[in-house]
Structure 1
Amino acid sequence: MIPIQFDEVNVVFGKPDTMTDEECGSLPALVDTLPNGQDVIVSCWQLSEDEIAMLTKTGRIYLTVYSKIMFPVLLSTEITV
């Protein structure tokens, strides 16, 4: 999957200094605050044809977070803010 631009993007996050360009790239995102005061960051990802085939076959998506802290996350097929 690759991160892609979408209409609501208002920031682009750069990769961490500890990672190479091959390991990580820039991340276009929407940074916003919900009406309840909760801060959110939304990114949009495009699947390759092979990834679509694998998703259809397994029905699974894996989320990897490079951290020792896990914040609440949401995977969705549409923007939810």
Structure 2
Amino acid sequence: MLPIDFPETNIVLGKPNDMTDEQCMPLNAYQGHDDDGFHFFLTAWVPNKEDLEALNAGRPLFLKVVGNGFPPLAMYTMDVQNQCNSPR
């Protein structure tokens, strides 16, 4: 998966101070608040050919969080009307 810039981007998240440029790159994001008032960051990712093959074969999508905490997370896609394909 490759992170991409998207029209709603309003912040660029930098790498942690203890990581090198080879270990982590800047990440374009949207910073906002959801309908419940919770602060969030939204990033966009595009699957490469191998990712699409894996997903189409029914293999799972993994999410890795680096650090000592595990914040609430969500993963989803958008439909053609730009609506979230998630249960919430």
TM range (shorter): 0.7 to 0.9
How many angstroms apart in 1 are the aligned matches of 2:71 and 2:37?
Answer: 16
- TM-score between both structures, scaled by the size of structure 1: 0.87
- Partners of 1:35 and 1:48 lie apart in 2 by 32
**Alignment correspondent of 1:3:** 3
Q: Could you tell me how far apart the structure 2 residues matched to 1:73 and 1:50 are?
A: 24
Match of 2:33 in 1: 33
Provide the residue aligned with 1:48 in structure 2.
48
* Residue in 2 that maps onto 1:14: 14
Following superposition, the deviation at residue 33 of structure 1 comes to 1.2
Name 1:23's counterpart in structure 2.
Answer: 23
CA shift for structure 1 position 59: 3.4
Give 1:22 shift: 2.0
How many aligned residue pairs are there? 80
| Farther off after superposition, 31-40 or 2-11 | 31-40
Percent identity over the alignment?
A: 30
Q: Which runs of 5+ in 2 are unaligned?
A: none
Q: What is the Cα-based RMSD across aligned positions, in Å? A: 1.5
Q: In 1, distance between residues paired with 2:3 and 2:18?
A: 19
Structure 1: gaps of 5 or more residues: none
CA distance, structure 2, for counterparts of residue 22 and residue 51 of structure 1: 22
> Relative contact order, CA 8 A, sep 6+: which one is greater?
1
In the alignment, the residues of structure 2 paired with residue 56 and residue 22 of structure 1 have an alpha-carbon distance, to the nearest angstrom, of: 30
1:50 shift after superposition: 1.0
Runs of 4+ with >2 A deviation: none
